[in-house]
Chain A
Amino acid sequence: MPIAETKIVSARFDDPEAKNIDAYEKSGGYRAARKAVRMDPAEIAEQVKASNLRGRGGAGFPTGIKWGFVPKDADTVYLVVNADESEPGTFKDRHILYWDPHLLIEGMICASRALRVRNAYIYMRGEMMREYKVVQAALDQAYAKGYLGKRIFGSDMDLDITIYRGAGAYICGEETALLSSLEGGRGWPRLKPPFPAVKGLFGKPTVVNNVETIANCGFIVEHGGKAFAEFGTERSGGTRLLSVCGHVEKPGVYEVTMQTTGREVIEEVCGGMRGGRKVKGVIPGGVSMPVLLPDELDVPFEFDALQRDERIREVEVHPGQKFDLGGGRTLRTMAGSGGVVVMDETTDMTKALWRILHFFHDESCGQCTPCREGTGWLVAVAKRIAFGDGRPGDVELLADIANGIAGNTICALGDAAAWPTLAFLTKYRDEFVAKIPRAARAVTGAAAALETSP
């Protein structure tokens, strides 16, 4: 079954009553939090480790291990929930925030107990005004019941949760940029190490976790890490939310099993391709992740398979030259943020890439030259190809610029622009070449011949 039978994070979607704390409790809510506040913090952390929960924001890093980096003797530890969902194609966290805000709060209580947190923050993207109101109302209800504040649930634990709103900057979803923003500055990423778990918000140990990641914590506390792990694969526990957009019959947010393949997502979960047209390409995890061809869709859409399955081609810089991810590792694709973009046979891939690059250029924070300048060059070259003004050598130029950005910036935004560029060129090269006007291409051939002659 592609759709998860046990819904861990989406059970209350579409139920307008669930925002109300009484209805939430009636359906089993706050049982995990009541249990957590009386548990030994180390035991909760142990359960999360055993659950094989991996970060749902993009990187897929094991949550328990991330928590383990926090120094045991730290006097102040912060928890920050990353609700800055902005990666094009991704709209799952917005659903949790809007439909089930108490699930997030409960998860935060559990995580805060495990990490000995006194002050936790939700960094929410500024555009989400509707969601901000819903989550703030839920927080107010929780405070009124004594589930937040001093001595919560009558235990010895104090916890305050505060929403801090962003104001329109994709980069603030990067965890160190988020911390810079939450401290009241420009959203500038910081070099790692030091990692936030050691030196984060206000210089104190800080755990930054995605909304969906934290929303899973209640289940893990209530039912144990093992039960959670069993839903998933060997190295990745639980279920996952996918947000699907583009040319399918039923776009939307779905909780699926880790074993679900891309083809199942399209055919079974989303009711097939719209109008019966053929699929041309699928981006599996937000637009920064390499695109998949139709014959690469029988791979499970989960963290390990998308990275390693040999049915997915390796991304190249130029034909025959594999892209080096660092240390000789090659790049296929990644599960990212679960934002699935489905494009049918009518899609102009040169325009799709141009629009994606336009985004990264717009959102570059400007700190690192390769990204600040490079994304501008990428979008300029991609635009002239897409709109019929391509010049001889533009396809090679695009690839060289992308390769020059990747791995040379403080944060991953540079890679996020480079990877889709190289993937689109690897997989739809003929379409890009064909878009360059004939006259220009003829010159390319002649020029190339001249260059190679003695």
Chain B
Amino acid sequence: MTALKLSDEIEQKIAELWPRFPEDKVRKVLCLPVLYMASQQFGRVDEEVIRLVAERLELPPAHVRGVATFYTMIETGEVGEFHLQICTNIGCMLEGAYDVLGRCKKRLGIEKNHGTSADGKITVSEVECLAACGYGPVAQIAQKGKPDIPLYFEKLDEKRIDAIVDALLEGRVPVELGV
């Protein structure tokens, strides 16, 4: 048994989705939404969280682990308080996404296209298409423990990415810059 406990929001989501699926299938169905929410609650999904989800849904841990490692929005590695995700796919690339990513990495002293600032607070990742190609370069920000930051940051340039990095360094998501 693990000392961790799933949040009330997750229990509420389980209760909400349960009647919408066949009784004999619903535990497995819930694996993905519960893992995703657990990833936000705990900041990442490690072996302990996998066991917790497996126990709660009465699923084999191997299945839960397989799902957890398949989806990019379920964090399995170490990430900072903020996770700034910059799309560099074709639409954004044509609009200068690599300049924006490069600027970000430089400001935060990150070398690779996925890395965390020295103080461990901000993780920057190059991500794949966010389906906003006409308004690129586009980024999104995830914050540990906050399940829903509904913001995309569109039409980024050096000035806008600087303002976003400034805000993150101050410890806040720059809501005013979103769309």
Contact = CB atoms under 8 A, between A and B. Distances in A.
A86 B94 contact: no
Contacts of A347: 94
A119 B20 contact: yes
A183 B25 contact: yes
Nearest to B147: A129
Given A186-B70, A202-B22, A287-B90, A243 B29 contact: no
A91 B131 contact: yes
Contacts of B70: 169, 186-187, 365
Given A130-B150, A186-B67, A341-B91, A90 B133 contact: yes
B168 interface: no
Contacts of B131: 85-86, 90-91, 93-94, 125, 127-128
Chain A interface: which size bin? Answer: 35 or more
Interface string B136-151: 1000100000001111
Interface of B: 17, 20-22, 25, 27-33, 35-36, 63, 66-67, 70-74, 88-91, 93-94, 128-136, 140, 148-152
A184 B28 contact: yes
Contacts of A186: 66-67, 70
Interface in A124-145: 125-130, 133
Given A88-B133, A129-B148, A339-B133, A167 B94 contact: no
Interface class of chain A by DSSP: mixed
| Most chain A C-beta atoms within 10 Å of own C-beta, residue among B89, B136, B150 | B89
A206 interface: no
B36 A88 contact: no
A94 B150 CA distance: 13
13 contacts: A86-B129, A90-B131, A127-B131, A168-B72, A181-B32, A184-B31, A185-B66, A185-B67, A244-B134, A246-B91, A341-B90, A355-B90, A362-B128
Contacts of A362: 128
Given A184-B29, A186-B66, A355 B132 contact: no
A359 interface: yes
A183 B63 CA distance: 12
A224 interface: no
Nearest to A247: B94
A253 interface: yes
Contacts of B32: 164, 166-167, 181, 184
B134 A127 contact: no
A363 B36 CA distance: 18
Given A88-B89, A126-B36, A202-B22, A167 B148 contact: no
B68 to A, nearest CB: 9
B132 A182 contact: no
Given A127-B130, A162-B17, A359-B89, A169 B150 contact: no
A173 to B, nearest CB: 10
A251 interface: yes
A251 B139 CA distance: 18
Given A88-B90, A89-B133, A183-B25, A167 B74 contact: yes
A160 interface: yes
A246 B94 contact: yes
A170 interface: yes
A381 B73 CA distance: 29
Contacts of B132: 91, 94
B134 A165 contact: no
- By CB atoms of chain A within 10 A, which of B17, B21, B129 has the most? B129
B30 A184 contact: yes
A285 to B, nearest CB: 13
Given A164-B33, A184-B32, A355-B90, A129 B149 contact: yes
B20 A183 contact: no
A245 interface: yes
Nearest to A344: B94
Contacts of B28: 183-185
Interface string A223-256: 0000000000000000000011111000111000
B72 to A, nearest CB: 4
Nearest to B17: A162
